[in-house]
Amino acid sequence: MMHGNLRIDAQALWADLIYTAQFGGTPKGGVKRLTLTPEDRAVRDWFAATCSDLGCSITVDTMGNMFARRAGLDDSLPPITMGSHLDTQPTGGKFDGILGVLAGVAVVRALEDARYVTRHPVEIINWTNEEGSRFSPPMMCSGVFAGVFEESEVLEKRDRAGFRFGDELVAIGYKGEEPCGRHPMTAYFELHIEQGPILEAEKNVIGAVSGVQGMKWYEVTVRGKDAHAGSTPMHMRRDALLAASHMVVALAKVVARFGHEAVGTVGLLENRPNSNNVVPGETFFTVDIRHPDDAVVCEIEKKFIDCFENIASDMGVLLSISRIWDAPAVRFDERCVGLVRQAAEQIGLSPYSIVSGPGHDAAYVARLAPTAMIFVPCKDGLSHNEEESITEYEAEAGANVLLGSILKADEFFGNKFK
């Protein structure tokens, strides 16, 4: 069979997406599958078993990243790879991340059904802790793989309950033996839902992603003084939560000055002692800022920190700001982006050029190997939400473009690791 005629099994892919949503499924129809939890272990076990049944060998590295390998005609060549992540947000949906992994399963299933053997080996990757919702920062283990983070430091990370990353990795049985980062690649492709409204608004089913915008994360602690709510006059209070609320509003105003492409978010806030008759003495919150231009991200950083410091001074509280993640803007490999466009056009789809707002593992993998991403729309642009939704047709289209991209990359790239 000519590979141009290969197509994925759409019904099998959709069945996999619905079945895996049971691992951490929520009453509202979403998924809570935090990294390195029993739910994460369960979906990993399913993924490993499913890929083994398709004839793949499974390798796990020291950060828990999983590689399911289908042999090629020349198995000495570095593999053509594809993948994403299996972990979710606390109130996540059925498709964020896992679509890219299960589409990889669909690609291998299509190759197996057609008895088509690629020249390069083909691999599906599950990256550990992409979300960063339990252990920060996000994309942590693809970051170790790419040399962005030190493995020893990541293993010592603790979640908000004090559990250590390295211990939890061992506890679920997914601390492998292969040194993280010692896994060569010829190229990498990642299919993902857009997590935004652009493709749906443009009535386009495929996005050819040219890159990822720059982003920075911060942890902010505001320290005032606990006091009795009934006996402490307003003008004598050092209210940490009140000061923090002014900072949250200030962040929104700062970001608004930089146009529609700039975004800033306070997504997590903890108040202490959190009692209804105590003036708050300490408030902790996070800040997330993003823009396609790194210079603009730096300018937003300077402006909001200046505002926070002025608010802290005016309100008599102490301020601590720590930048915990800095991910510069990424441009994907033009050759790989071109292969995605060709694969879409070959099946009658017109790819839409788009820059990713969210970060993805592909942003770090791009430091090591030629990389591209494929987006499909999600209803109302909604993601990181239990109501996240895509159609079976959109999943099928994205997976077929992924299949075409893998096959074209197998032809395009030469014998040497590039």
Convert the pLDDT of each residue in 40-96 to its tens digit: 999 999 999 999 999 999 999 999 999 999 999 999 999 999 999 999 999 999 999
Q: What is the predicted pLDDT for the residue at 250? A: 98
Q: What is the mean pLDDT of residues 121-149?
A: 96
* Same-domain pairing of 10 and 59: yes
The reply to whether 54 and 198 lie within a common domain is yes
- Clarify whether residues 246 and 391 are in a common domain: no
The whole-number average pLDDT for the span 123-150 is 96
Residue range 255-296, pLDDT digits in tens:
999 999 999 999 999 999 999 999 999 999 999 999 999 999
Q: Looking at the 3D structure of the chain, how many domains does it have?
A: 2
Grade residue 5 by pLDDT with cuts at 50, 70 and 90: confident
220 with 303, same domain?
yes
Task: Please tell me the predicted confidence (pLDDT) of residue 327.
Answer: 87
Report the alpha-carbon distance of residue 11 to residue 310 in Å, rounded: 57
Residue 229 within a domain: yes
Which among 310, 327, 344 is the end of a domain? 327
SS3 69: strand
Average pLDDT over residues 126-152: 96
Q: Same domain, yes or no, for 234 and 377?
A: no
| Known binding-site positions | 85, 96, 131, 192, 384
Would you state the pLDDT for residue 358?
Answer: 87
Which residues belong to the annotated binding site for Zn(2+)? Answer: 85, 96, 131, 192, 384
- What is the chain's mean pLDDT, rounded? 96
Q: Is residue 316 part of a domain?
A: yes
In this predicted structure, the answer to whether residue 415 has a pLDDT above a threshold of 60 is: no
Helices in 70-156 by DSSP H: which ranges? 98-114, 140-145, 151-155
Helices (H), 291-391: 294-315, 334-346, 361-365
- Statement: residue 1 has pLDDT above 80: no
| pLDDT tens digits, one per residue of 40-53 | 999 999 999 999 99
Domain boundary among 280, 305, 327: 327
Residues 140 and 259 in one domain: no
12 domain residue, yes or no:
yes
What's the CATH code of the domain at 235?
3.30.70.360
Domain that holds residue 128: 3-213+329-412
Check whether residue 284 and residue 361 sit in a common domain: no
Task: List, in sequence order, every residue forming a beta bridge with 374; answer none if it has no partner.
Answer: 191, 208
Same domain, 90 and 204: yes
Res 207 pLDDT > 60: yes
- The predicted model gives 341-350 an average pLDDT of 97
Encode pLDDT of 361-378 as tens digits. 999 999 999 999 999 999
Does 41 share its domain with 166?
A: yes
pTM of the model: 0.85
In a domain, 117, yes or no: yes
Q: What is the CA radius of gyration of the chain?
A: 23
Per-residue model confidence as pLDDT tens digits over 6-50: 999 999 999 999 999 999 999 999 999 999 999 999 999 999 999
> Maximum CA pair distance of the chain?
82
Residues 263 and 295 in one domain: yes
Rounded to whole angstroms, the Cα distance separating 43 from 82 reads 18
Indicate the residue among 327, 355, 373 that finishes a domain. 327
